[in-house]
Amino acid sequence: MTGTRLSRRALIAGAGTAALAAPTFAGMGAKLGGMIDLALPGGPSLRPTTPAFPGKGEMIVQRIRPPLLETPMAAFREGIITPNDRMFVRWNWQMPTEVKAADHRVAVGGAVTKAVSLTLDDIASAGETVSVIAVNQCAGNGRGLSQPRVTGTQWGNGAMGCAKWTGVRLKDVLAKAGVAAGARRVRFAGLDVPLTDGAPQFIKSIPLDIAMRDDVLVAWGMNDEPLSILHGFPLRIVVPGWFSTYWVKMLATIEVLSGEDDSYYVADSYRMPAQPITPDAKDFPTVPITTMPPRALITSHEDGDVVKLGKPLVLEGIAFGGDAALDRVDLVGKGWEIPCTLGPDEGGPYAFRRWQVTLPQVAGDFEGIGVRARNVNGAVQPADFAWNPSGYARNVIERITLRAQ
Ligand SMILES: Nc1nc2c(c(=O)[nH]1)N[C@H]1C(S)=C(S)[C@@H](COP(=O)(O)O)O[C@H]1N2
Ligand SMILES: [Mo]
């Protein structure tokens, strides 16, 4: 983590009212950019793209309201930081489209010594301002590639991005209320509420030891700009190494729990089979989605691209270690593998890192090649996809075929 210029003053000064004129399909009609093919094997694969969302460049539209916007893979071709106008967007329920910074409060309560209601100024002055570069990845990233097909947003691999997050440590905010003895978990709620009567609010909790980590933040900055409404203005939780379902946006409530969390999005949803299962399995034990496994993707080429016979071939892409630093990336084919060269470690253990490999001479087609990341804990991407009913935590080696001509 490093110090930053997006300081407390910037938070207060920059944070007036954030408002979002959310586009509708009708209003957006003229602005629809093009169509993009996500190459999803099990269903409709074409999606419209649009630059119509405020603060966003050309994004893949999975849903307008609540917004689900996917990052085009082209955004991952340069650098390790995903620009704010390309970061994917995901809301379970429609969020408020206007938030006044001056009126915003974060209630800290539950198993605490003294419940408090904090202004943005209180939060910003709760401790040292820190930044961490970390991958923000939806647990369902790549779900649309599952076979057999699964339910949920049919994402390609663009429900992820890497940004620099700036804020204060969650533990310093918790200290304002004082965590009571016997506390077990810390739960977060945002300003968004369900659209349907009786539907559960999107609230999520993490174990206390994770909440107390030095790099778990209550963040207001994303790539040196205040969070936009779409990304959770004015504050969001950042848990590096964990899937971003826990990175609650528009943070309004922090609740310390002295027992287990039986709320819907922890106890019933966002869960994986405890052991590998087959698609016909019923009534299997489940565990919550938590940390991210390592992943690598080729960004220089797409499936079906033509490469020059007899010439050298340079392949490039991004990788990340998940909940531990990246250790290595290998290019793998059928029965062979070649180590890739990692780019400089620019962002630390939770960031994207670039990789590259040069093949001296193209001698023919490359059938089903892919890249395989391993992290320093020894976690390595599997060759076979561990199917699960929600397509969570996909990290199978993604393969493409290149034609030589
Ligand atoms: N308040 C709130 N926070 C939320 C969500 C939500 O629906 N409401 N969705 C979560 C999920 S599932 C994801 S993948 C990330 C997406 O973060 P982003 O939109 O900034 O990319 O936000 C998380 N935080
Ligand atoms: Mo998500």
Domains of the chain in start order, with CATH, are 1-269 (3.90.420.10), 295-404 (2.60.40.650)
Ligand 1 pocket test: pick from 65, 68, 135, 138 the residue with the most ligand atoms within 8 Å of its Cβ: 138
Q: Which tens digit of pLDDT belongs to each residue from 86-104?
A: 999 999 999 999 999 999 9
pLDDT at 203: 97
**37-49 average pLDDT score:** 91
Question: Burial of 373 by CB count in 10 Å (0-12 exposed, 13-18 middle, 19+ buried)?
Answer: buried
- Report the pocket of ligand 1 as residue ranges, CB < 6 Å: 87-92, 136, 138, 190, 192, 202, 231, 244-245, 247-250
Query: Residue 245 and residue 266: Cα distance in Å, rounded?
Result: 10
88 versus 23: the higher-pLDDT residue is 88
Nearest CA to ligand 1 atom 14: 138
Q: Does position 3 have pLDDT exceeding 50, yes or no?
A: no
Ligand positioned closest to the Cα atom of 203: 1
Q: Does position 1 have pLDDT exceeding 60, yes or no?
A: no
Nearest CA to ligand 1 atom 21: 89
Query: Residue 259 and residue 256: Cα distance in Å, rounded?
Result: 9
Nearest CA to ligand 1 atom 4: 248
Spell out which residues have Cβ within 5 A of ligand 2, the ion: 90, 138, 245
Question: Burial of 57 by CB count in 10 Å (0-12 exposed, 13-18 middle, 19+ buried)?
Answer: middle
What confidence category does residue 24 fall into, taking pLDDT thresholds of 50, 70 and 90?
low
Structure tokens at 82: 């995903």
Structure tokens at 252: 């309004």
Query: Residue 99 and residue 212: Cα distance in Å, rounded?
Result: 28
Query: Residue 41 and residue 73: Cα distance in Å, rounded?
Result: 17
Taking the CB of residue 283, how many other CB atoms lie within 10 A of it? 4
Q: Which tens digit of pLDDT belongs to each residue from 55-66?
A: 999 999 999 999
pLDDT at 8: 58
Q: Which tens digit of pLDDT belongs to each residue from 116-125?
A: 999 999 999 9
Strand residue runs (E) in 223-352: 225-226, 236-238, 251-257, 271-273, 286-288, 295-298, 306-307, 313-320, 326-332, 337-339, 341-342
Ligand 1 pocket test: pick from 90, 97, 231 the residue with the most ligand atoms within 8 Å of its Cβ: 90
Taking the CB of residue 134, how many other CB atoms lie within 10 A of it? 28
Q: Which tens digit of pLDDT belongs to each residue from 167-205?
A: 999 999 999 999 999 999 999 999 998 988 899 999 999
Helices (H), 166-248: 170-177, 208-211
pLDDT at 157: 98
